[in-house]
Structure 1
Amino acid sequence: MVVLTTPSIDHFPIVDNSFIDPSLFNDVPIIDLSEPDSINLIVKACEEFGFFKVINHDVPMEFISKLESEANKFFSSPLSEKLKAGPAEPFGYGNKQIGPNGDIGWVEHILVPTNSEFNYQKFASISSLNPDNIRAAVNDYVTEVKKMACEVLEMLAEGLKIHQRNVFSKLLMDEKSDSVFRVNHYASCSEIDEFNGNNVIGFGEHTDPQIISILRSNNTSGLQILLKNGHWISVPPDPISFFINVGDSLQVMTNGRFKSVKHRVLTNSVKSRLSMIYFGGPPLNEKIAPLPSLLEGKDSLYKEFTWLEYKKSAYKSKLADNRLVMFEKMANS
């Protein structure tokens, strides 16, 4: 990702709030991982929403607070200093530009790999930051969140009555897993008053291409998901819980039974928003296709592809594109 000159506020996309149904704000499924019936509830949430909130998780709040503190130190630094930690190509610091195809948003971010060593010395140029502290904070946090992701994936496999309980989680546990970690910062945007109550887009509508995404944010609103009926709903902020997205790869592996959720982030005119996302991805050479045990005599909706093939295809697309359409069997028959 190449960091270009920051666009003016006039260039940022906006969203019409009249298409957001406030009566649906509290429809987000809440899964208590300590409850014995949570397996069936998770399967239902993945089928109906592709998204749910997790409570009673085992991720220590100490790790959450430590990483958030380090991230806030970084993002509060002058832009000239932050740019020394980029450009994000693909890893490092990025600002406003989302991907190589012209998408922009009111966001800055840090992107790092989770299964290979990253040069945290990029952050040493900012005097208030200690690269070793950032590395330790990221590693502690990602280790715990990865455990939760694998637990959820194994519960899903059990709920789907798949004999191999680790059929999904083993892809994240593989030492060659192509998982990444991203921290997004959305500065408060007082300029939105210029748009008659509409909001500037922080991160445009999209699905996540990986298997599963684990998200948390500070106590600031902005995240929205798209329902099957075409309504956008706002997700109430919750700084101590986690939100989980079904990714495109999991949709394919379940032959469309689970749906990859389309989501976006709107700016907040009063408070900045900090979100931290673990994207659980398979190894680059892993073949992605519907699991035979889930076909049950049905035709496969997708042709087989490797994660590397899909990753390259997704990177070439626009943010809001339906990336899976090129891999649907009907589209290529």
Structure 2
Amino acid sequence: MEKNMKFPVVDLSKLDGEERDQTMALINEACENWGFFEIMNHGIPHDLMDKIEKMTKGHYKTYQEQKFNDMLKSKGLDKLETEVEDVDWESTFYVRHLPQSNLSDLSDMSDEYRTAMKDFGERLENLAEDLLDLLCENLGLEKGYLKKAFRGTKGPTFGTKVSNYPPCPKPEMIKGLRAHTDAGGIILLFQDDKVSGLQLLKDGDWVDVPPLNHSIVINLGDQLEVITNGKYKSVMHRVVTQKEGNRMSIASFYNPASDAEISPATSLVEKDSDYPSFVFDDYMKLYAGVKFQPKEPRFEAMKNASAVTELTPTAAVETF
């Protein structure tokens, strides 16, 4: 990484002291120019993070490693000869926290792991809401504006994608996770502090997100780009595979409710906005099929869908 490309790392404990203004400015600069930043002293106990990491890696060994190897064989990926562009080299499972938890339905989790994950999820949910209020402060929006925008009638959706990226014999042939922007709101990532792999696209170059012990990596999703009228942007990122080490990634997504109506904040729009207004669930339906493509056509499609809706509501619902 070039010297002028220092990845933004924010010490949240400085918000309570004389360096608050400086720290808020660093968060704002990171949101405007990176779409990513890494936070330290975020209030989540280190022993809880250590426990989650140990249990997640143990869970993979016990319940997922063989399934992953079977998947590789079934898709012919155990003998990579040519570059593969439509599959990811990852093993995942999903935990839903809000609006209703599915932790009790995940039968291969131990009670201890389930309890720890519930605690971790609740702490991350609170942290996500605190961060959204910091963004509001930087944007000149009233406190709670972003939380309210996400609420809909059912409250926000919040879930965790637990991933492992096992060693890959030919990293140049396949990505751990292909390049994409995240569709939702704000993402909080607890990543492996020893095995790297996460990269973001910055000024045309792929930049490593440094693995720091007990940090949480924050990145912004498409919905925050729309609500901030492009002042803050979601950024393309990917996971590259490594020859050595199994990389753990626990990404928690604090997203709008399915029926939340998303639109640029009026106070951030001077004349007309280039960004669309839409219902979050409609955006997700579109995103599902084009996740690994650029976001701009998605925004354009939603804008056109909105324009059609204003003209012919019934036909628009049937054709979209």
Classify the TM-score, shorter chain: 0.7 to 0.9
- Hey, what does 1:118 align to over in structure 2? 102
Q: Does 1:208 align with 2:182?
A: yes
SS of equivalent to 1:34 = helix
Deviation at 1:204, TM superposition (A): 0.5
Moved more, 74-83 or 301-310: 74-83
- Hey, what does 1:11 align to over in structure 2? none
- Hey, what does 1:190 align to over in structure 2? 169
Unpaired runs of 5+ residues, structure 1, are 1-21, 84-95, 97-101, 193-197
Report which of the two has the higher share of helix.
2
- Hey, what does 1:225 align to over in structure 2? 200
- Hey, what does 2:91 align to over in structure 1? 108
SS of equivalent to 1:185 = strand
Q: Does 1:156 align with 2:135?
A: yes
Unpaired runs of 5+ residues, structure 2, are 15-19, 69-76, 78-84, 309-320
* Amino acid in the other structure paired with 1:113: R
Deviation at 1:324, TM superposition (A): 2.6
* Amino acid in the other structure paired with 2:39: V
Distance 1:70 1:172 in 2: 31
SS of equivalent to 2:285 = helix
Moved more, 23-32 or 65-74: 23-32
Q: Does 1:251 align with 2:230?
A: no
Distance 2:124 2:151 in 1: 12
Q: Does 1:306 align with 2:306?
A: no
- Hey, what does 1:62 align to over in structure 2? 47
* Amino acid in the other structure paired with 2:134: M
What TM-score comes out, normalization by structure 2 length?
A: 0.80
Cα gap change, 1:69 to 1:120, in 2 (>3 Å): farther
Deviations 1:273-312 (A, max 9, x none): 00111101011111000011111x2211222101111111
Cα gap change, 1:110 to 1:78, in 2 (>3 Å): closer
Distance 2:97 2:252 in 1: 9
Deviation at 1:251, TM superposition (A): 0.2
Deviation at 1:330, TM superposition (A): 12
Among all aligned residue pairs of Structure 1 and Structure 2, give the percentage whose two residues are the same amino acid: 30
SS of equivalent to 2:229 = coil
What TM-score comes out, normalization by structure 1 length?
A: 0.77
SS of equivalent to 1:58 = coil
SS of equivalent to 1:114 = strand
Deviations 1:228-271 (A, max 9, x none): x2111112211311111011000000001101011000011111
Distance 2:275 2:47 in 1: 42
SS of equivalent to 2:107 = helix
Match of 2:248 among 260, 271, 274: 274
* Amino acid in the other structure paired with 1:307: F
